[in-house]
């Protein structure tokens, strides 16, 4: 195993083993020689994938998933300043949130960070966001893009509800809507009436730019 592999593997293991002190220490070390984006993609995201596998195989339960998420968030906080450093003028304004009934916010946070890095002004409403709060945020903040995240089969259809509410309020034409989250796909995004879907944080930032470059799309 190369030294580089050892470094990323160490961070991955610290998150899987729910050790936030270690994940912070190892991430800080890795940042001396690696770009934040590389650490995110090669260590933090694979760590959460491994945690997901452990949960599915019955090797981890909810409290352990939460602790692993904390270890991952602690490492992510260190990477954030570098990921969001952007000298370019603001590319547009994005309001982002996880739909009502759904507390999963890790992926959404990553998307926010990548969007900030791509020059967007980002306002996160957090997780478990009621439909009316999304509508109010679009009314009050006039974002160019509304991003919604969902990780549960049961909560994803709420995206459709938000889009319908925007339409009823006469706001739908004022904002592009993009959706994502592990259980989403292009087909569902089309069914819900979204303007775009992206499978990960990096492509979410690209999608946001494309949506604003092609307003008629």
For tokens 């906080």, name the residue. 77
CA–CA dist 216, 213 (Å, integer)? 9
CA–CA dist 77, 211 (Å, integer)? 28
H-assigned helices in the chain: 3-16, 20-30, 36-39, 45-56, 62-84, 106-117, 131-141, 158-168, 186-192, 201-213
CB of 9 to ligand B12, least distance (A): 18
Told to check if 51 binds ligand B12 by CB under 6 A, we report: yes
Tally Cβ neighbours within 10 Å of residue 81: 10
Told to check if 69 binds ligand B12 by CB under 6 A, we report: yes
Told to check if 79 binds ligand B12 by CB under 6 A, we report: no
Told to check if 101 binds ligand B12 by CB under 6 A, we report: yes
CB of 21 to ligand B12, least distance (A): 19
Told to check if 83 binds ligand B12 by CB under 6 A, we report: no
Nearest-10 crossing angle of helices 20-30, 3-16: 160
Q: Which of 43, 79, 99, 179 binds ligand B12 (CB under 6 A)?
A: 179
Stretch that binds ligand B12, among 27-35, 58-66, 79-87, 131-139 (CB under 6 A): 58-66
Residues that bind ligand B12 (CB under 6 A): 45, 48, 51-52, 55-56, 62, 65-66, 69, 101-108, 110-111, 147-149, 151-153, 178-183, 198, 200-201, 204
């Amino acid at each position: 195993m190369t030294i580089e592999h050892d470094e990323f593997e160490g961070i991955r293991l610290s998150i899987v083993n729910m050790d936030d002190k270690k994940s912070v220490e190892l991430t800080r070390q890795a940042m001396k020689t690696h770009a934040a984006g590389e650490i995110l993609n090669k260590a933090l995201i694979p760590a959460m994938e491994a945690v997901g596998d452990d949960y599915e195989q019955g090797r981890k339960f909810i409290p352990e998933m939460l602790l692993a998420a904390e270890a991952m968030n602690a490492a992510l906080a260190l990477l954030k300043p570098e990921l969001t450093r952007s000298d370019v003028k603001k590319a547009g304004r994005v309001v982002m949130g996880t739909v009502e009934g759904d507390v999963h916010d890790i992926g959404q946070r990553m998307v926010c960070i990548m969007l900030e890095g791509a020059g967007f002004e980002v306002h996160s409403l957090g997780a478990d966001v009621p439909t009316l709060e999304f509508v109010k945020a679009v009314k009050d903040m006039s974002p160019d893009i509304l991003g919604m995240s969902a990780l549960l089969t049961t909560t994803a259809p709420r995206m459709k509800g938000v889009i319908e509410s925007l339409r009823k309020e006469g706001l739908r034409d004022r904002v592009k809507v993009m959706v994502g989250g592990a259980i989403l796909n292009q087909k569902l995004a089309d069914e819900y009436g979204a303007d775009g879907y992206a499978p990960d944080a990096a492509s979410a930032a690209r999608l946001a730019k494309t949506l604003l470059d092609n307003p008629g799309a």
